[in-house]
Structure 1
Amino acid sequence: MISGVHAIIYTGGADALRAFFRDVLEFDSVDAGGGWPIFALPPAELAVHPTEGAGAHELYLMCDDIHTTVKELERKGVEFARPVEDAGWGLMTSMRVPGGGELGLYEPRHPSPDHTRG
């Protein structure tokens, strides 16, 4: 039924953010036409959290070792908006991305779905 997820980030600095995903995070991409890249993402998971009032959406990149990943990204010039914090269910931080805004990064402590199963 569902074959994947297509996530979109809106920004006033699209070219810079595309270069960030291509050159810094080293995500593979395909040309969707006219030089418009569509980036491949690592396996994904979706959590649903209860909230009061209007809903919201968040996007986090996941890693196996947040401290090593932060150091690697800092060597590539990435600036982090906050130090790594222990949230109980995982370690998390947020990186500043070109065009404004932040992108979450976290090392989960919870089990993740098996992405090899269809």
Structure 2
Amino acid sequence: MIIGAHSIIYSKSPEADRALLREVFELPHVDVGDGWLIFGLPPAELAVHPSETNDVHEFYLMSDDIDGFVTEMRKRGVACGPVRNEGWGLLTHVTLPGGGKLGVYQPRHARPKPMGLRKRARTTARRSSRRRAR
């Protein structure tokens, strides 16, 4: 069944955006070949919003201290938009080196418990990562 989520950021400058995620955000990662990095993320949540169209998806990172996050990003030379109170959270956008924007927010809404992994899924994931590491 479901063991995780895989999000994709499309970029005109993927190497630069990967460097930001690796070096500035300090996300754990694996190189699956030829510099193609897949980053680990903290627990996630998923919401379904009403829309006039299908196949529209958004991706946000969450922070427990949005003001501290913005301050740290500015120290590291990463541009952030103004923090806006959206009711459901305090939202900013990081400008990625490739020119795209990535939303980061401090949630003010109720949060679900993270989904646990079944024992079998954890064992399979460990075996797969050992094979890749060789």
Fold in common (TM above 0.5): yes
Change in 2 beyond 3 A, CA 1:75/1:112 = same
Aligned partners of 2:55, 2:82: CA distance in 1, in Å? 26
After superposition, residues 28-107 of structure 1 pair within 5 angstroms as 28-80=28-80, 82-107=81-106
Residue 20 of structure 2 is matched in structure 1 by 20
Q: Which has the higher strand share?
A: 1
Residue 130 of structure 2 is matched in structure 1 by none
Aligned partners of 1:69, 1:4: CA distance in 2, in Å? 25
Aligned partners of 1:88, 1:104: CA distance in 2, in Å? 15
Change in 2 beyond 3 A, CA 1:19/1:109 = same
Residue 11 of structure 2 is matched in structure 1 by 11
Aligned-pair CA distance for 1:72: 0.8
Q: Identify unmatched segments of 5+ residues in structure 1.
A: none
Aligned partners of 1:29, 1:53: CA distance in 2, in Å? 33
Larger deviation: 97-106 or 33-42?
A: 33-42
Aligned partners of 1:21, 1:67: CA distance in 2, in Å? 19
TM-score normalised per structure 1: 0.92
Q: Deviations over 1:64-107 (max 9, x none)?
A: 11111110111111101x31001111110111001111000100
Aligned partners of 2:50, 2:73: CA distance in 1, in Å? 32
What amino acid is aligned across from residue 106 of structure 2 in structure 1?
E
Aligned length: 117
Aligned partners of 1:54, 1:115: CA distance in 2, in Å? 26
Percentage identity across paired residues of the two chains:
52
Q: Which has the higher helix share?
A: 2
Compare CA radii of gyration and give the structure with the larger one. 2
Aligned partners of 1:11, 1:4: CA distance in 2, in Å? 23
What amino acid is aligned across from residue 103 of structure 1 in structure 2?
L
Q: Deviating runs (4+, > 3 A) in structure 1? A: none
Query: 3-state DSSP class of the match of 2:30?
Result: strand
Q: Identify unmatched segments of 5+ residues in structure 2.
A: 118-134
TM-score normalised per structure 2: 0.81
